[in-house]
């Protein structure tokens, strides 16, 4: 019996790291709290047959069983939502594992869950479904360079009806020469004042940046409109 237990542990240790790397969906839900995200997850997944298995301060675990145990093996699928509060936002990381007749088997992908995961974020912060992308870093070795951070936040100056840049130290915006207080008029040809609000602008920037797209800024430099390009991918 001990040999079987040891074998099971070894299999988990062998396969779990690779499975988690390929079996994760990450997205950041804007301007919310963990309890709101937890409630939304339950409201969206429960009608699809998922039952709440566990709720913690920063997680939600859902279960769903398949098979009758006679003609087909009972498979118990668990969806784990790990939630991290990041200032006003919540980072949501979703993974899945399956218990098949007592053996843990990590799923290769969670493609079938992505529409529901996107619905969670869309319900909370209104991000269009087609703009929600997987922000999980691509698998790579430990020596791979850290992902580039844009380090740019745009703030509306109500009295003047324009947006100014808040530039974070070490980000690509600073490296490109942009400074805090600079007036920004457009991003990729989109006039900022024509966009709905600050949240829509942030979602647009995040979506393009996470997808590896360049951001072309039209900004003010000493009274003259200039163009600056921020690149995530060299």
Model confidence pLDDT, tens digit, residues 11-21: 444 444 444 44
Fold exhibited by the domain 152-230: Pdz3 Domain (2.30.42)
Q: Residue 21's Cα: distance from chain center in Å?
A: 14
Q: What is the pTM assigned to this prediction?
A: 0.58
Residues contacting 14, CB < 8 A, separation 6+: none
Q: Are 41 and 50 in contact (CB under 8 A)?
A: no
End-to-end CA distance of the chain: 54
CA angle 128, 131, 134 (to 5 degrees): 125
Model confidence pLDDT, tens digit, residues 48-68: 989 998 998 899 999 887 654
Domain extents in the chain: 2-131, 152-230
3-class DSSP assignment, residue 115: helix
The rounded distance, in Å, linking the Cα atoms of 15 and 194 is 49
Fold exhibited by the domain 2-131: TATA-Binding Protein (3.30.310)
The rounded distance, in Å, linking the Cα atoms of 195 and 154 is 12
């Amino acid at each position: 019996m001990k040999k079987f237990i040891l074998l099971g542990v070894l299999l988990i240790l062998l396969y779990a790291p690779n499975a988690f790397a390929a079996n994760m969906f990450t997205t950041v839900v804007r301007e919310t709290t963990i309890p709101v995200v937890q409630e939304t997850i339950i409201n969206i997944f429960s009608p699809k047959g998922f039952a709440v298995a566990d709720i913690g301060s920063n997680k939600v675990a859902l279960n769903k069983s398949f098979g009758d145990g006679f003609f087909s093996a009972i498979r118990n699928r668990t969806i784990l939502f790990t939630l991290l509060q990041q200032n006003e936002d919540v980072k949501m990381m979703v993974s899945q594992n399956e218990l098949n007749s007592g053996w843990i088997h990590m799923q290769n992908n969670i493609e079938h869950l992505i529409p529901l995961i996107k619905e969670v974020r869309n319900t909370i912060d209104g991000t269009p479904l087609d703009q929600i992308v997987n922000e999980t870093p691509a698998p790579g070795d430990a020596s791979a360079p850290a992902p580039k951070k844009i380090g740019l936040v745009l703030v509306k100056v109500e009295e003047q009806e324009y947006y100014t840049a808040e530039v974070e130290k070490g980000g690509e915006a600073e490296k490109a020469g942009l400074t805090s207080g600079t007036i920004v008029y457009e991003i990729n040809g989109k006039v900022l004042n024509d966009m709905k609000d600050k949240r829509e602008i942030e979602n647009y920037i995040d979506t393009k940046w996470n997808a590896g797209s360049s951001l072309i800024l039209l900004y003010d430099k000493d009274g003259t409109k200039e163009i600056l390009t921020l690149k995530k991918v060299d």
